[in-house]
């Protein structure tokens, strides 16, 4: 049952996302009937699934939303802002109910139930008076409602369903599906078939032997009725005939079903689907046709028959066939998708990582042996391992658009709360990133987007006075750069007030009065814990938490966050993250007896370090000043410097720097192992890996090293500038 609830919860949340997205489209002016139908189907699927797994709180509440959407779909009401707001609140409430289910709480607590009642009250004006269903319903002992079966019901759908033997073992209740049918209409007649029941001694109480013949009065479509049985569709035999079907169609149904012909015929007569005369005449004609027919003659396709009878034009038949093929291909593509638990993917990545290490060890032993055939075999093995690695990592890559799209709702709600007109623009939603990174970046992005709307975007009056468009603009951009993914949150607001930031920092004791800071250092003060320049605490900001959490969470992902701002023009927050946290291509280097790995995507070139003085930390790279850092000095590696040193030129966030090493050992598949708690705060080290020899190599944090070089260069520039000023003053 836990597994069934988990599947329902996952699918229900997917439907909630689709429902919310559709509602947002409707609010923005989309009136495509398919959009409305998609929202209705999402609510209908959630309610149906909840009914099947007997989560009645979700089923009952979603039924209210479905009724409103049904009226909207039928053109009885128009889209309005109040209705969309109430429906979105309903989506939030369903999410809360699903959270309770995930915690094992099947019934809503008092506060949650009261909140649901409040939302239902908001939706009441859009429900109107629902038309009473024709006929008086009576409750049977099984809990399924039906009418007196003596009346003719040719206007009904006819449903034949035979549940599979294992439906009970799979946690499904056949009666729950029949109850759920009542949400679409009424059961006018129902016959329970027990022909498949074995004798008592042979009966297995865990198996299902039931079948049902149902006359169902409803205005729903065939697809909607079929969706009622979605959860057991692979474990039942289902036939649905539309109202006023021809006698031949009912006779075909009788022939297809396993029960005795006359028994099924009597059921159809009692239900009013056929008269006794129609049944007898049809069966007699059917028997005659069987006797005179040539069973080996192939039947012509329906399209050809219609064309020969001049019932339809050939072009229409061809178009219908093409559409049918497209639909079939689409269904086949959907059927090829399977769900895999995230833990299984994580286990696969771990095993691939161990395979990479084992492959490196085998390759090393082969080279030491000097055996040509063995080296060739390990070379093939290495290529295969690389392919397996790439395929395994690709399984965890997801488009970041799924995370971005939920901010449309955030922008809408924040705009209304702040009474601002804000447009959210998304670029690069198709950019792929490791699933584990996507899951952890959601909260930091939420802080940045909300802060951009609250702090960054000015009020309509202030924007108009500044000659800017009244509608503010917030952009979410994503793109790949140098083996990293870059996510930008850009606003066209007033920018950060550096004077206010500095004054607040002095007031809080973050910096000392009179301390000289560069503009960038002042801006970076917003990432200090508890720092906020907002005077009034609101639902969105001013509580002293947010930006420090952003930096902490991003740093935990081996990423960085930077901010650029321009007074009156807005701010740009830039997040850089690694594409994956598991396995990367690395460039192996050596310093003394120690080994260091540099992420290969950040390596531009390697050059030999010319003779330079020990106190110089830059070189001339084709007319460009390239600052560098010596790993031997940085990590205090013992021993003398070799006569020949090498510089690995790396680039991060558009900045170049050099890393001086003793040896260049070539490319190396790197399985990233996290550092222990004791070493997490070491600057310049981003992780560790295991070499084929079994030794540990440290993975360099290129971002930290590039920043160190840039800071050193800036300080030297300041010092040189100060020296020139002193000399000028002295002169």
Residue 424's contacts (CB-CB under 8 Å, 6 or more residues apart) are: 407, 408, 411, 449, 474, 475, 476
pLDDT of residue 589: 93
What 3-state DSSP class applies to 406?
Answer: coil
- Spell out the alpha helix ranges (H) of 233-371: 247-256, 261-271, 276-292, 302-308, 314-335, 342-369
pLDDT of residue 408: 87
- Taking the C-alpha atoms of residue 546 and residue 282, their distance in angstroms, rounded to an integer, is 75
CB 675, CB 688: distance < 8 Å: yes
pLDDT of residue 135: 34
- Over residues 302-356, the pLDDT tens digits come to 445 444 544 445 555 555 555 455 545 554 444 456 777 777 888 888 888 888 8
- Taking the C-alpha atoms of residue 300 and residue 642, their distance in angstroms, rounded to an integer, is 86
Q: What percent of the chain has pLDDT over 70?
A: 80
Mean pLDDT, residues 454-478 taken together: 90
Q: Is the pLDDT of residue 133 over 50?
A: no
Q: Is the pLDDT of residue 581 over 70?
A: no
For residues 296-310, one letter each, b for 16 or more C-beta atoms within 10 angstroms of the residue's C-beta and e for the rest, the string is eeeeeeeeeebbeee
- Taking the C-alpha atoms of residue 422 and residue 563, their distance in angstroms, rounded to an integer, is 21
pLDDT of residue 152: 41
CB 659, CB 648: distance < 8 Å: yes
Nearest to 588, CA basis, from 691, 674, 702: 691
- Taking the C-alpha atoms of residue 700 and residue 599, their distance in angstroms, rounded to an integer, is 8
Count helices and strands in the chain by DSSP H and E runs: 23, 23
Specify the CATH number for 142-288; select among 3.30.300, 1.10.3470, 3.40.630, 3.30.70: 3.30.70
- Spell out the alpha helix ranges (H) of 557-666: 631-634
- Taking the C-alpha atoms of residue 342 and residue 375, their distance in angstroms, rounded to an integer, is 36
Residue that wins the pLDDT comparison between 577 and 142: 577
pLDDT of residue 250: 79
pLDDT of residue 131: 38
DSSP annotation of 459 reads P
pLDDT of residue 474: 93
pLDDT of residue 648: 94
CB 405, CB 21: distance < 8 Å: yes
> Per CATH, which fold does 2-126 belong to?
1.20.120
For residues 257-272, one letter each, b for 16 or more C-beta atoms within 10 angstroms of the residue's C-beta and e for the rest, the string is bebeeeebbebbbebb
Q: What percent of the chain has pLDDT over 90?
A: 11
Q: Among 167-171, 465-469, 596-600, whose mean pLDDT is lowest?
A: 167-171
pLDDT of residue 730: 52
Residue tagged 């990582």 (tokens):
353
Q: Is the pLDDT of residue 422 over 60?
A: yes
Q: Report phi then psi at 260, rounded to 5.
A: -65, 140
What 3-state DSSP class applies to 426?
Answer: strand
Residue that wins the pLDDT comparison between 709 and 421: 421
Q: Is the pLDDT of residue 551 over 90?
A: no
pLDDT of residue 573: 93
Tell me which H or E stretch contains 3: helix 2-27
pLDDT of residue 336: 56
CB 449, CB 417: distance < 8 Å: no
CB 589, CB 598: distance < 8 Å: yes
The dihedral formed by the CA atoms of 525, 527, 531 and 537, expressed in degrees to the nearest 10: 130
Give 171's pLDDT tier (boundaries 50, 70, 90). Answer: confident
Distances (CA, A) of 462 to 424, 466, 501, 538, 569: 19, 6, 21, 20, 13
- Spell out the alpha helix ranges (H) of 370-491: 372-395, 401-405, 407-418, 435-451, 460-465
β-strands 594-599, 583-591 pairing: antiparallel
Q: Is the pLDDT of residue 715 over 90?
A: no
Structural domain boundaries in the chain: 2-126, 142-288, 342-396, 399-578, 583-717
Cα 376 to the center of its chain, rounded Å: 43
For residues 76-88, one letter each, b for 16 or more C-beta atoms within 10 angstroms of the residue's C-beta and e for the rest, the string is ebeeeeebbbbbb
CATH 1.10.287 holds for 342-396: yes
What 3-state DSSP class applies to 545?
Answer: coil
- Taking the C-alpha atoms of residue 338 and residue 495, their distance in angstroms, rounded to an integer, is 46
Q: Domain 583-717: state its class.
A: mainly beta
For residues 233-253, one letter each, b for 16 or more C-beta atoms within 10 angstroms of the residue's C-beta and e for the rest, the string is eebbeeebbebebebeebbbb
- Taking the C-alpha atoms of residue 534 and residue 496, their distance in angstroms, rounded to an integer, is 12
CB 693, CB 361: distance < 8 Å: yes
pLDDT of residue 93: 93
pLDDT of residue 662: 92
Q: Among 47-51, 145-149, 165-169, whose mean pLDDT is lowest?
A: 145-149
DSSP E strands, 122-235: 138-139, 145-146, 157-163, 185-193, 211-218
Q: Is the pLDDT of residue 415 over 90?
A: no
Give 661's pLDDT tier (boundaries 50, 70, 90). Answer: very high
pLDDT of residue 713: 61
Give 23's pLDDT tier (boundaries 50, 70, 90). Answer: very high
Mean pLDDT, residues 508-521 taken together: 79
- Taking the C-alpha atoms of residue 135 and residue 133, their distance in angstroms, rounded to an integer, is 6
Q: 3-state SS string over 378-404?
A: HHHHHHHHHHHHHHHHHHCEEECHHHH
- Taking the C-alpha atoms of residue 150 and residue 138, their distance in angstroms, rounded to an integer, is 14
Same topology for domains 2-126 and 142-288, yes or no? no
pLDDT of residue 540: 54
Give 571's pLDDT tier (boundaries 50, 70, 90). Answer: very high
Give 293's pLDDT tier (boundaries 50, 70, 90). Answer: very low
- Taking the C-alpha atoms of residue 334 and residue 400, their distance in angstroms, rounded to an integer, is 21
CATH number of 399-578: 3.30.565.10
- Taking the C-alpha atoms of residue 323 and residue 341, their distance in angstroms, rounded to an integer, is 35
pLDDT of residue 674: 72
Q: Is the pLDDT of residue 130 over 60?
A: no
CA-based end-to-end distance of the chain: 87
CB 153, CB 98: distance < 8 Å: no
- Over residues 219-228, the pLDDT tens digits come to 888 888 888 8
pLDDT of residue 219: 81
What 3-state DSSP class applies to 97?
Answer: helix
- Taking the C-alpha atoms of residue 28 and residue 6, their distance in angstroms, rounded to an integer, is 33
What 3-state DSSP class applies to 456?
Answer: helix
Residue 595's contacts (CB-CB under 8 Å, 6 or more residues apart) are: 588, 589, 665, 691, 695, 697, 698
Residue 376 half-sphere exposure toward CB, CA atoms < 13 A:
3
Give 204's pLDDT tier (boundaries 50, 70, 90). Answer: confident
The dihedral formed by the CA atoms of 115, 119, 124 and 130, expressed in degrees to the nearest 10: -90
Residue 178: how many CB atoms within 10 A of its CB? 22
Give 146's pLDDT tier (boundaries 50, 70, 90). Answer: very low
- Over residues 225-277, the pLDDT tens digits come to 888 888 787 788 888 888 878 777 877 788 788 777 767 777 777 766 677 77
- Taking the C-alpha atoms of residue 665 and residue 505, their distance in angstroms, rounded to an integer, is 47
pLDDT of residue 295: 45
């Amino acid at each position: 049952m836990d597994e069934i609830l988990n599947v329902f919860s996952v699918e229900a949340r997917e439907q909630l996302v689709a429902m919310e997205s559709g509602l947002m489209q409707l609010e923005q002016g989309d009136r495509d009937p398919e959009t409305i139908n998609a929202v209705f189907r999402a609510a209908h699927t959630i309610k149906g699934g909840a009914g099947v797994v007997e989560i009645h709180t979700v089923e009952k509440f979603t039924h209210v939303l479905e009724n409103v959407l049904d009226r909207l779909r039928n053109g009885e009401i128009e889209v309005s802002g109040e209705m969309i707001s109430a429906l979105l609140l309903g989506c939030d409430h369903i999410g809360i109910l699903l959270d309770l289910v995930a915690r094992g709480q099947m019934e809503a607590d008092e506060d949650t139930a009261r909140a649901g009642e409040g939302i239902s009250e908001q939706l009441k004006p859009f429900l109107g008076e629902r038309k009473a269903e024709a006929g008086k319903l009576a409750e049977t002992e099984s809990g399924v409602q039906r009418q007196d079966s003596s009346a003719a019901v040719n206007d009904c759908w006819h449903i034949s369903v035979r549940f599979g033997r294992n439906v009970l073992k799979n946690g499904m209740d056949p009666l729950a599906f029949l109850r759920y049918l009542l949400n679409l209409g009424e059961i006018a007649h129902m016959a329970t078939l027990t022909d498949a029941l074995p004798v008592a001694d042979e009966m297995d109480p865990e198996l299902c032997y039931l079948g049902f013949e149902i006359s169902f009065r409803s205005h729903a479509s065939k697809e909607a009725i079929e969706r009622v049985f979605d959860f057991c569709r692979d474990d039942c035999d289902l036939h649905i005939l539309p109202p006023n079907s021809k006698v031949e169609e009912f006779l075909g149904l009788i022939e297809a079903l396993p029960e005795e012909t006359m028994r099924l015929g009597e059921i159809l007569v009692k239900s009013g689907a056929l008269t006794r005369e129609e049944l007898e005449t049809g069966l007699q004609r059917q028997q005659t046709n069987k006797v005179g027919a040539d069973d080996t003659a192939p039947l012509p396709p329906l399209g050809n028959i219609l064309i020969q009878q001049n019932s339809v034009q050939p072009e229409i038949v061809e178009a219908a066939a093409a559409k049918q093929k497209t639909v079939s291909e689409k269904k086949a593509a959907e059927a090829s998708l399977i769900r895999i638990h995230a833990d299984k993917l994580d286990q696969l990545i771990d095993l691939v990582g161990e395979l990479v290490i084992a492959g490196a060890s085998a390759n090393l032993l082969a080279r030491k042996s000097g055996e040509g055939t063995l080296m060739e075999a390990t070379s093939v093995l290495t290529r295969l391992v690389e392919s397996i690695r790439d395929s395994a990592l690709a399984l965890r890559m997801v488009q970041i658009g799924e995370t971005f799209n939920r901010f449309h709702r955030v922008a809408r709600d924040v705009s209304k709360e702040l009474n601002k007109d804000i447009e959210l623009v998304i670029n690069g939603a198709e950019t792929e990133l490791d699933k584990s990174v996507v899951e952890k970046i959601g909260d930091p992005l939420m802080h940045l987007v909300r802060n951009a709307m609250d702090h960054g975007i000015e009020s309509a009056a202030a924007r108009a006075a500044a000659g800017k468009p009244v509608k503010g603009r917030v952009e979410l951009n994503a793109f790949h750069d140098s083996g990293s993914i870059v996510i930008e949150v850009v606003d066209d607001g007033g920018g950060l007030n550096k004077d206010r930031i500095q004054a607040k920092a002095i007031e809080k004791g973050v910096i000392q009065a009179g301390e000289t800071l560069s503009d960038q250092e002042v801006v970076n003060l917003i990432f200090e814990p508890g720092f906020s320049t907002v005077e009034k605490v609101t639902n969105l900001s001013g509580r002293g938490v947010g930006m420090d959490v952003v930096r902490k969470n991003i740093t935990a992902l081996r990423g960085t966050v930077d901010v650029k701002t321009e007074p009156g023009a807005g701010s740009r927050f830039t997040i850089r993250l690694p594409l994956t946290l598991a396995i990367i291509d690395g460039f192996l280097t050596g310093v003394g007896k120690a080994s260091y790995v540099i992420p290969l995507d950040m390596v531009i070139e390697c050059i030999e370090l010319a003779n330079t003085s020990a106190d110089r930390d830059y070189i001339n790279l084709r007319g460009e000043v390239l600052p560098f850092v010596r790993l031997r000095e940085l990590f205090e590696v013992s021993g003398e410097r070799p006569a020949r040193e090498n510089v690995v030129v790396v680039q991060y966030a558009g900045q170049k720097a050099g890393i001086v090493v003793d040896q260049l050992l070539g490319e190396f598949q790197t399985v990233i192992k996290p550092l222990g708690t004791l070493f997490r705060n070491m600057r310049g080290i981003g992780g560790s890996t295991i070499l084929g020899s079994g030794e540990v190599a440290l993975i360099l944090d290129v971002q930290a090293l590039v920043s160190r070089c840039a800071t050193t260069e800036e300080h030297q520039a300041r010092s040189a500038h100060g020296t020139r000023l002193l000399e000028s003053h002295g002169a």
